[in-house]
Amino acid sequence: MMNRRKFIKVAGAITGAAAAPAIISSAFGAGHSKTQKIGCLFSSSGAMANVEGRLNSVVDMAVAELNAAGGVLGKTIETVITDPASDWPLYAQNGRQLLLQEKCKALFGCWTSVSRKSVLPVVEQNDALLYYPLHFEGEENSDSVVYMNSPPASSVLPALEYMMSEDGGSASRFYMVGSDYVWPRTINKINKGYFSSLGISEESYKETYVPFGFSNFQTIINDIRDFADQPGGPPIIILTVVGSSIPAFFKEIINQGILASDIPILGLDVLEADLEGLDTTSLVGHLNCWAYLQNVESEANTQIKSNWASFVKSNGLPYKPDVMIDPMVSAYDGVHMWAKAVEKAGTFEVPAVKEAFDGITFNCPSGYEISLGSENNYVARGVFIGSVNENQAFDILWQSDDTPKPVPFSPYA
């Protein structure tokens, strides 16, 4: 057994050694002029790590592409990755560190709305930029955030419209299940506003919320079967549970033998990655809606998928090389759109970069040319409705003609 004194000395030495690079890097980091840093705020540990962690690597990959093409304004871009560990205040803390200590000029980060909300004051106070890759509840427009994904009015409502059409199965009754937090609540509020504007009676829909991380869906699915058996027309489930609740919900759906032809599910936060652990043959036909689906046929998409596969392999990352999800693409788009704005502005200084936003476009892997306008900081993107197939992915069922103008504040909310 190691004696105490020795242990303490060793422990001290280890801690010292671990802390030293931090001190050195902060002392010398500022002096470099050939590189420009950008920061990543995606959790690679904790509850969100399952889906969120891989976005760090996506940003890395996009930066590698920029650097391979000669960098931005002649400077090499360097990514600083932190791990906020799914701990919301830590997002703010790490964000502050990235901006003030590492002198990052732009942040790419956050998955949940809570994490964004916690970084928001930091970004606003320090006149920085945050590229946020997720679709969310909308109802926000900070000029320090670039919202890379669609607000509900331009993604959820088209999907509902489709499901209520004859081709979509003339859905007329709606069971809304969500995790109990702001995104599902706001989405369902918008849905309800939309229903009542169509004259759908209150008996035709029902909403339930479950706690975060909830996984015992037996009783709720019993209740859904009950709801589905009532008279009044074809039912659908509008699923807004998030994170680990999604596969748990699907597992129980499979288990109780409910097929898409019985009760279709419109899973608003369901990604290819959520289907990873599931046998999807019994889930075929359920729907989701995003601004990008893996099966899109476009040159840019083939390119990003093969780049990702080789990036994962060459760096030995623990992700499936053949799974590409919307937030990954959004984060990727974010890096490129930032670089374009910087080049347009001719400087890395944030106020000038913000000025340059209007009219920035990018050829997104989704096949649309996405763009930033002058009215708000939301990127205009196309919308897809996908249908689960046997291969743990989504077939494209419907897609918008062009990129609808983003409406951050829904008229139904």
Shortest reach from residue 184's CB to another protein, in Å? 10
Of 218 and 310, CB closest to another protein: 218
Of 261 and 374, CB closest to another protein: 261
Of 183 and 332, CB closest to another protein: 183
Does the CA dihedral 158-160-166-167 come out positive or negative?
Answer: positive
Of 207 and 369, CB closest to another protein: 207
Shortest reach from residue 407's CB to another protein, in Å? 16
Shortest reach from residue 118's CB to another protein, in Å? 4
Shortest reach from residue 34's CB to another protein, in Å? 22
Shortest reach from residue 236's CB to another protein, in Å? 9
Shortest reach from residue 69's CB to another protein, in Å? 28
DSSP code per residue over 236-276? EEEEE--TTHHHHHHHHHHHTT--TTTS-EEETT--GGGGT
Burial class (CB within 10 angstroms; exposed 0-12, middle 13-18, buried 19+) of 185? middle
Q: Are 318 and 56 in contact (CB under 8 A)?
A: no
Q: Are 348 and 73 in contact (CB under 8 A)?
A: yes
DSSP code per residue over 386-411? EEE-TTSSEEEEEE-SS-PPP-SS-T
Continuous H helices in 29-97: 49-52, 54-68, 88-96
Of 50 and 371, CB closest to another protein: 50
Of 43 and 403, CB closest to another protein: 43
* Nearest by Cα to 381 from 158, 223, 52: 158
